[in-house]
Structure 1
Amino acid sequence: MTDTIVTPGNATATPATRVADFVASEMFAKLFHEGMDLVERTAAYLDGPGRDDSRALDRAGALAYAAESMKLTTRLMQAASWLLVQRQVAEGEMSADEAMGERYRLPPDSIEDPHWPENGETAPAELADLAALSRTLYARLKRIDENLFAGEPPQASVNGVGAQMDRLRSAFGN
């Protein structure tokens, strides 16, 4: 599946138009379900078999497990939040212009790959798999986010007057 949002019909569309088109697409519906399924799968693992996996590790492995599970949870919560905002746009609960606000954009995924102790135990396979899937999902969402908002700086606030002033400044170069 390709994550390209700009098509010949909307290459010059505004970011708000691109967002509205995207959230109405089948691609978004599939991506939303994929993301939410991964969140649910991860929660089920961490609350169930993951606890047993963690207890079976030595001290260094258990600490690495805890750190990795926190990174995984953080990454997925950011992804889920982004997807939920886009769904609000799709359902008319939020305008596409509002969704362009900085607080609704995805930050870079600064969470590094897992670092398990050398000469120690390896990560449980399910945790490693979920971490890899979450990094892939996050990277896809980040590319989509950047594509949707290409050519327009994110808005710092959702303020009708401020947004209008930004448009005027852009139009008159001041």
Structure 2
Amino acid sequence: MNEGIVQAGAWRTDVIQDFARSELFDRTFQEGMDLVEETATYLDGSGRQESKLLSRNAALAYAGESMRLTTRLMQVASWLLVQRAVREGDMPAENAREDRYRLGAEDVCRGATEEDLPSGLLILLDRSERLYERVRHLDRRMYVEEAEGETPNPVQNQFDRLQAAFGG
């Protein structure tokens, strides 16, 4: 039984390393970093100007949503940078499983958006939420399923059981 646990952990480490070397990671990393830069440019430029034209209530909502946006993107960027560290050999895949390196602040990052906000902010909020959800899915597939003891690949699990049963 312990052998199965060790094999599952080794398999998960391989999945983490394979993801870090994948084209999906490259695209996700680039998208994340581009969105961080685009958001910073917006919030420091046209977003600042647009926020000055808002009513007091809308300005408060703008401040709250821009903080949520920034938090969401910093969580994604931090997670992606950890995966890049795994890719480049600066961090073992096992370390990337530690809670401090995982995607966090879910309660802050997921929330309702005010509709009377500037369209530029609404677009960035939508794009960042979709990116956060994709990274959240990856994070859970790579790290949470193992911790919860779920089978990461049911087909592989069945194949392993057949192999064990028939000595293949």
Question: Structure 1 length as normaliser, TM-score?
Answer: 0.75
Structure 2 CA distance for partners of 1:95 and 1:13, relative to 1, 3 Å: closer
Equivalent-residue separation in structure 2 for 1:40 and 1:112 (angstroms):
22
Structure with greater helix share of residues: 2
Which among 36, 41, 45 is matched to residue 39 of structure 1? Answer: 36
Equivalent-residue separation in structure 1 for 2:12 and 2:99 (angstroms):
13
Length, aligned pairs only: 139
Equivalent-residue separation in structure 2 for 1:84 and 1:56 (angstroms):
36
Deviates more, 1:70-79 or 1:141-150: 141-150
- Structure 2 unmatched ranges of 5 or more: 1-7, 149-168
- Whether the aligned pair in 2 keeps the contact of 1:89 and 1:95 (CA below 8 Å) is yes
Identity %: 49
- Whether the aligned pair in 2 keeps the contact of 1:82 and 1:104 (CA below 8 Å) is yes
- Structure 1 unmatched ranges of 5 or more: 1-10, 117-121, 155-174
Equivalent-residue separation in structure 1 for 2:13 and 2:105 (angstroms):
21
Which fold has the larger relative contact order, with Cα–Cα distance below 8 Å and residues 6 or more apart in sequence?
A: 1
Kindly state the Cα deviation for residue 115 of structure 1 after the two structures are TM-superposed: 3.4
Equivalent-residue separation in structure 2 for 1:149 and 1:59 (angstroms):
43
One-letter amino acid of the structure 2 residue matched with residue 143 of structure 1: H
Equivalent-residue separation in structure 1 for 2:13 and 2:73 (angstroms):
25
Residue 82 of structure 2 is matched in structure 1 by 85
Equivalent-residue separation in structure 2 for 1:108 and 1:17 (angstroms):
27
Residue 114 of structure 1 is matched in structure 2 by 113
Equivalent-residue separation in structure 2 for 1:137 and 1:112 (angstroms):
15
Question: Structure 2 length as normaliser, TM-score?
Answer: 0.78
